Structure 1
Amino acid sequence: METTLENILNVTLLEPQQKHPTIFNRFNELKEGESLIIHNDHDPKPLYYQLLGQKGNIFTWEYLEEGPAWWKIRIRKRVSGENEETLGALAAKDLRKAEVFKKYGLDFCCGGKKTVQEACAEKGLDLTKVEQELQQIDKVPSSRPMPYDEWELDFLSDYIVNVHHRYVRKNLPDLTAYAEKVMEVHGERHPELVEIKNLVKDVGADMLAHMEKEEQRLFPLINSMIKGSKETPSQKTLSSKEFQNFITHHEAEHLSVGNEMDDIRKLTNNYTLPEDACASYTLLYRLLDEFEEDLHLHIHLENNILFPKAIKLEIQLQQSDETH
């Protein structure tokens, strides 16, 4: 529970050798959810990394004031379990945080099982800066985002088919045609367009095959489990281990397509148009950017919401069968 009175420590009043030991002692005295505000005359970021190294990711670090005269930081001891939240879980709770992840190139869909700390460490990012931006989102009232995480799984799978699968099938022909056309016209001066065209073709083939498997097998299987959870006969034909392996296979296919789109982004220098870009060149890059945006949300809904809940439901059904 949060403290009602602010717990403040003015570090500037301490001897230099007593500063960090005093802060550590005050932090150790905190109960879960309680916080300590430190006042300093410079940015105490080294303290952040010392705390992280010695205590682990059991605290949040929030800048209340950042100079030039004073730096004020609220250090809050996390409640048990908070530090285990992954990129995918954070995005599932509040999709606005996905914009921060995308800004820093953090993969919240295919790589959504990593914590913020793990993902930032892999990319050499300043964790305090990323967490600060995530905290700012928490302070801004939400404008009624889509409640994906609250939907029934059969409704969510139908939504994915009718929105995201339909988007892919509708836009792939244009995307493929423009990739071919722009390569033919500009390929000599921009040889990367040949590889881009080939990658677009691969993405299209992979996505169409993947969506077909989801619509013909995976989603009907999940929907039959929903019926089984409502005490009607279930058509489930896989064991728990087989079902989880089935999900893992679909996640691997997501990762493959995600990597192909990452390669396209790198080849296009983040969809930066060259000086001699024509209207078709411009349209191709816009279509690619929009396609990737839709793909990120598409994979997020499956990897971070649909699949974990389906696995949890399957385990519950298995346990229920064993008790009868």
Structure 2
Amino acid sequence: METQDVLLDATAIQPHALKHEIIFSRFDSLKDGEYFILHNDHDPIPLYHHFKAIHGETFDWEYLEKGPLIWEVQITRHLPAQTEPTVGDMVADDYRRAEIFRKYGIDFCCNGNVSLQAVCDKQNLNYETIKKDLDALDSNSDQRQNTFNNWELDFLSDYIIHNHHTYVRNSIPMLNEFTQKVANVHGDHHPEVVEIAEHWAKLAQELTDHMEAEEKYLFPYVKKLVHARNNNEKLPVPGFGSIDKPIQHHLEEHDSAGQHMKRINELSNGFKIPEDACNTYSTMYKKLDEFEKDLFQHIHLENNILFHKAIDMEKQVVEG
């Protein structure tokens, strides 16, 4: 910033009604670390509180002159530090990253609201190794998969129903049969399959109830939000108050489903097929492995994309 551009004389701004607008515009034009000096004929402390309300902690306010006739303040801009994306955000941007996170045991769906560095610190993982794998993936942008994050929420809702909900409903009868059969036949020598069958039964029932509620209540409301937004309409406050409430309930159900699936993974040693496994036993583990991948993408699409955007959209179109 050139020296002659540093001083802004508030007493010379006309009309007076535009004073704050011009001062804020000057601040917005600053780069990180740049400043201007505000010259005034009285203490501009009301302006300080206005800055605080709008710009938070992104500025420094330093008095150079404190009256009684001349007041000068150096106002320096500090851009907020770039926030590291969460693992959920990273997968939302490119779903191929899910396989890398899965390889290292990183939960990007039910607990995807933390940074990669935080996950590595908590799980004692090598951040640089994982980052190297992610960078190699990013370099191959030609194979980038569906960017679900760019889809309209009504389309994303239909995608979840027709792909993930349908997959779950088609898989449940088969896995009900397999888990019970394997538990009955192999439970004596492999007691873990008995517990797997128990977790699967709970998971299947929870998902059945969960999907029905989403299709009956949540997704239709999301579609109403999209329609209202696209047509510049306002919606009345829904009977349940806010979409936050049902979403919180669905998040808790997702967490429960994720815990059942993780426990099944642990009990099966990562779906490792024993040497004495029969065809049904082998097929069960292969199917459970496939089911886990689908479930985690299913939960990711809702937790990290659909729910966040639906909450923001409701604020735009619901009256009040």
Pairwise same-fold verdict (TM > 0.5): yes
Looking at CA atoms only, which structure, 1 or 2, has the larger radius of gyration?
2
Helix, strand or coil for the counterpart of 1:142? helix
- Give the match for residue 120 of structure 2: 120
1:44-87: CA deviation from partner (whole Å, max 9, x where unpaired): xxxxxxxxxxxxxxxxxxxxxxxxxxxxxxxxxxx966443100
Q: Distance in 1 between matches of 2:83 and 2:300?
A: 20
How far is 1:272 from its partner? 0.9
Equivalent residue letter for 1:257: A
- Is residue 224–residue 235 contact of structure 1 (8 Å, CA) maintained in 2? no
Cα drift, residue 225 of structure 1: 1.0
Change in CA separation of 1:81 and 1:137 when aligned onto 2, cut-off 3 Å:
farther
Alpha-carbon displacement from aligned partner over 1:199-234 (angstroms, at most 9, x marks no partner): 110010000000011001110111111122123464
Instruction: Give the 3 Å change call, closer, same or farther, for CA 200–216 of structure 1 in structure 2.
Output: same
Gap change, CA 1:93 and 1:238, over 3 Å in 2: farther
Contact persistence 2:254–2:299 (CA under 8 A): yes
Per-residue CA deviation, residues 16-57 of structure 1 (Å, 9 max, x unaligned), is xxxxxxxxxxxxxxx99xxxxxxxxxxxxxxxxxxxxxxxxx
The residue type paired with residue 116 of structure 1 is L
State how many pairs are aligned.
Answer: 243
Partner of 1:313: 313
Residue of structure 2 in register with 1:140 after alignment: 140
**1:145 offset after TM fit, Å?**
1.5
**In 2, Cα distance between equivalents of 1:83 and 1:279:** 49
* Structure 2: gaps (5+ residues): 1-30, 33-78
On the 8 A contact 1:221/1:235 being kept in 2, the answer is no
- What are the equivalent positions in structure 2 for 1:182-197 lying under 5 Å apart? 182-197=182-197
Amino acid at match of 2:306: L
Tell me what 2:200 maps to. 200
Q: Which residue of 2 aligns with 1:237?
A: 238
Q: Distance in 2 between matches of 1:275 and 1:218?
A: 45
Could you tell me how far 1:274 is from its partner in structure 2?
1.3
Answer whether contact 1:227 1:233 (CA < 8 A) is retained.
no
Aligned equivalents of 2:153 and 2:306: distance in 1? Answer: 6
Cα distance in structure 2, aligned partners of 1:81 and 1:312: 23
8 A contact 2:199–2:260 mirrored in 1? yes
Q: CA deviation at 1:101?
A: 0.7
1:142-291 aligned at under 5 Å gives the runs 142-229=142-229, 230-232=231-233, 234=235, 237-238=238-239, 242-291=242-291
Q: Matches of 2:233 and 2:317 in 1, distance apart?
A: 12
Matching of residue 85 in structure 1 with residue 88 in structure 2: no
**Runs of 4+ with deviation above 3 angstroms:** 79-83, 232-236
How much identity, in percent, do the aligned residues show? 41
**Pair 89,284 (structure 1): closer, same or farther in 2 beyond 3 Å:** same
Separation in structure 2 between the aligned mates of residue 143 and residue 163 of structure 1, nearest angstrom: 21
Whether the aligned pair in 2 keeps the contact of 1:221 and 1:236 (CA below 8 Å) is no
Q: CA RMSD in A?
A: 1.9
Do the aligned partners of 2:153 and 2:310 also contact (CA within 8 Å) in 1? Answer: yes
Shift of 1:144: 4.8
Check the 8 A contact 2:225/2:313 in 1, yes or no.
yes
Distance in 2 (CA, whole Å) between partners of 1:182 and 1:235 is 52
Q: In the alignment, residue 269 of structure 1 is paired with which amino acid? A: N
Classify the secondary structure of the residue corresponding to 2:270: coil
AA at the equivalent of 1:285: Y
Distance (whole Å) between structure 1 residues aligned to residue 307 and residue 239 of structure 2: 15
CA contact (8 A) 1:176 1:201 kept: yes
Distance 1:99 1:82 in 2: 26
Show the counterpart of 1:35: none
d(CA) in 2 for partners of 1:154 and 1:165? 15
What is the TM-score when the length of structure 2 is the normalising length?
0.72
| Mapped partners of 1:188, 1:149: distance in 2 | 47
- Structure 1 residue 193: deviation in Å? 1.2
